[in-house]
Amino acid sequence: MAYKIPLFNLNFDDREAQAAYDTIKSGWISTGPKNAELEEMFAKMLGAKYAVSITNCTDALHLSCIVCGFGPGDEVLCPSLTFAASANCVRYTGATPVFCDIVGPEHINIDPKDIEKKITPKTKGIVVVHMAGFPAKMDEIMAIAKKHNLKVVEDACHGPLSEYKGKKLGTIGDCSAFSFFSNKNISTGEGGMFVTNNEEYAAKARLLRSHGMSTMSYQRATGHATEYDITELGYNYRMDDIRAAIAIEQLKKLPGDLEMRLEVRKQYLERLSKIEDIVVPFADNTEFVSNYIMPVVLMNSTKERRNRLREYIHATGIQTSVHYPAIHRFSIYKEYGAVLPQTDYVTDNEFTLPMYAALTPEQIDFICDTVEKAVNEIR
Ligand SMILES: *Cc1c(COP(=O)(O)O)cnc(C)c1O
């Protein structure tokens, strides 16, 4: 069944199709001039020194963990209320993710107090996630990192152009990763970006994304190089120019798209804040944010009731989701034995409402009416 109001819709028109077509016609479709253009645009947009385009965010997170020096025997702190890639990336390096709790339903990002509690002599870093594009408590987190000499990786998948005290998310830690997966704020199907202000990290990420090769095909095809050496054990984490061309069109639309999402969020907040026992996380945020998703948390409730509520809402043609099924409960992480009471409550009682620029005021009203009815009728 197709939902009348989906969770997300692509902000695509003829420009993305034309950009892909033009790139195909140009004769160069793998990593080349379009990637270079995209990287320059992206770095400039964030006010960051370096941006390196990557196959997807998961691989950008993997490279982040490598350049930060995580490895076997190390512990890296991360939230559990996020997508699995935020913890899996730590394991790719042989290090161990140690799950930290979130602050609570009003602030569903990692809790600096729990970070401090979980630091051991083995702790080497923190992976921070900015849920829905709302900043984690970066001042506290960066102060803890400085005190204990930890590296900070920002999983900024949800937050392109989001701000924290005037700085763009993804430019505060040691390095960061963005996603261009279909349902993200910037959509290319698959795609991602590694961002850093550290020259050495940028050079290493660039090398590792292409097999550790000292030159790229494009440099050789354009006569800038004739041979290559392999200087590191690298990967193939390159983005092709077809996707980069689509990303460039998406970046041009991003500020306008986010302005419209702000209006959607505003209308949601006005309506939802009047419904008893519903908490909208980050309701007190006043900074510019990307509004990647629209999470709400039911208070004094249960997982079973949340699920029935979602079924009720789905029956009216509105899609919802859960962000996220907590990682520490997945089969491959159960043995870690993490105890995270706030995360447990939110993962059982959260659901996510539709969020995209083209949502109309009438649609938002209909969604809020439906949520209100569901909350009142389902006990
Ligand atoms: C989407 C997402 C990822 C993974 O991004 P891909 O580009 O699909 O690899 C990682 N972390 C978070 C928080 C995400 O939302």
6 pLDDT higher than 80: yes
- What distance in Å separates the CA atoms of residue 136 and residue 108, rounded to the nearest whole number? 9
Cα of 366 from ligand 1 centre, angstroms: 30
pLDDT of residue 221: 84
Of 149, 142, 91, residue with least CA distance to 123: 149
Same domain for 318 and 339: yes
Residue 373 domain-assigned (yes or no):
yes
What's the token pair of residue 178?
């963005």
The crossing angle, in degrees rounded to 10, of helices 303-315 and 361-377 is: 130
Last residue of a domain, one of 227, 250, 273: 250
236-286 pLDDT per residue, tens: 999 999 999 999 999 999 999 999 999 999 999 999 999 999 999 999 999
Specify the DSSP class assigned to residue 275.
Answer: S
pLDDT of residue 214: 86
Q: Mean pLDDT across the chain, nearest whole number?
A: 97
Same domain for 87 and 206: yes
Same domain for 199 and 50: yes
Residue 4 domain-assigned (yes or no):
no
Same domain for 148 and 28: yes
207-245 pLDDT per residue, tens: 999 999 988 888 888 888 888 999 999 999 999 999 999
Same domain for 259 and 240: no
Same domain for 134 and 52: yes
Cα of 118 from ligand 1 centre, angstroms: 25
| Average pLDDT score over residue span 357-365 | 98
Same domain for 49 and 34: yes
pLDDT of residue 217: 81
Cα of 318 from ligand 1 centre, angstroms: 24
The fraction of the chain above a pLDDT of 70, given in percent, is 100
Residue 7 domain-assigned (yes or no):
no
126-182 pLDDT per residue, tens: 999 999 999 999 999 999 999 999 999 999 999 999 999 999 999 999 999 999 999
CB 109 less than 6 A from any atom of ligand 1: no
369 pLDDT higher than 90: yes
Cα dihedral across residues 306, 307, 313, 319: positive or negative: positive
CB 291 less than 6 A from any atom of ligand 1: no
Same domain for 321 and 214: no
pLDDT of residue 29: 96
Same domain for 52 and 196: yes
| pTM of the full structure | 0.97
Domain tally for the chain?
A: 2
Enclosing domain of residue 301: 255-377
- What distance in Å separates the CA atoms of residue 349 and residue 368, rounded to the nearest whole number? 17
Name residue, tokens 């000292």.
214
Q: Which atom from ligand 1 is nearest to the alpha carbon of 60?
A: 9
329 pLDDT higher than 90: yes
Q: Which atom from ligand 1 is nearest to the alpha carbon of 190?
A: 7
My answer on whether omega of the bond before 324 falls inside 30° of 0, hence cis, is yes
Residue 132 domain-assigned (yes or no):
yes
Are the beta carbons of 188 and 180 closer than 8 angstroms?
yes
CB 156 less than 6 A from any atom of ligand 1: no
What's the token pair of residue 139?
């001042």
pLDDT of residue 168: 98
pLDDT of residue 1: 62
pLDDT of residue 321: 98
CB 155 less than 6 A from any atom of ligand 1: yes
Question: For strand 167-168 and strand 163-164, is the pairing parallel, antiparallel, or unpaired?
Answer: antiparallel
pLDDT of residue 219: 84
Residue 3 domain-assigned (yes or no):
no
Last residue of a domain, one of 201, 217, 250: 250
CB 179 less than 6 A from any atom of ligand 1: yes
| Average pLDDT score over residue span 186-209 | 98
To test ligand 1's pocket by mutation, which of 8, 54, 57 has the most ligand atoms within 8 angstroms of CB? 57
Last residue of a domain, one of 250, 276, 291: 250
Residue 2 domain-assigned (yes or no):
no
Q: Which atom from ligand 1 is nearest to the alpha carbon of 86?
A: 11
To test ligand 1's pocket by mutation, which of 55, 89, 153, 157 has the most ligand atoms within 8 angstroms of CB? 157
Q: Which atom from ligand 1 is nearest to the alpha carbon of 56?
A: 7
CB 82 less than 6 A from any atom of ligand 1: yes
Backbone angles phi, psi at 128, to 5 degrees: -105, 135
Residues, the chain: 379
Name residue, tokens 């006010």.
47
Residue 9 domain-assigned (yes or no):
no
| Average pLDDT score over residue span 66-72 | 98
Q: What is the CATH classification number for the domain harbouring 362?
A: 3.90.1150.10
97 pLDDT higher than 80: yes
Cα dihedral across residues 300, 114, 154, 234: positive or negative: negative
Same domain for 52 and 23: yes
Residue 6 domain-assigned (yes or no):
no
Same domain for 215 and 242: yes
- Distances in whole angstroms, Cα of residue 50 to Cα of each of 107, 155, 321: 30, 16, 34
- What distance in Å separates the CA atoms of residue 126 and residue 260, rounded to the nearest whole number? 33
- What distance in Å separates the CA atoms of residue 355 and residue 261, rounded to the nearest whole number? 7
Q: What is the CATH classification number for the domain harbouring 178?
A: 3.40.640.10
Same domain for 357 and 277: yes
Q: Which atom from ligand 1 is nearest to the alpha carbon of 82?
A: 13
CB 152 less than 6 A from any atom of ligand 1: no
**DSSP labels, 260-316:** HHHHHHHHHHHHHTTSTTEE-TTTT--S------EEEEESS--HHHHHHHHHHHHHT
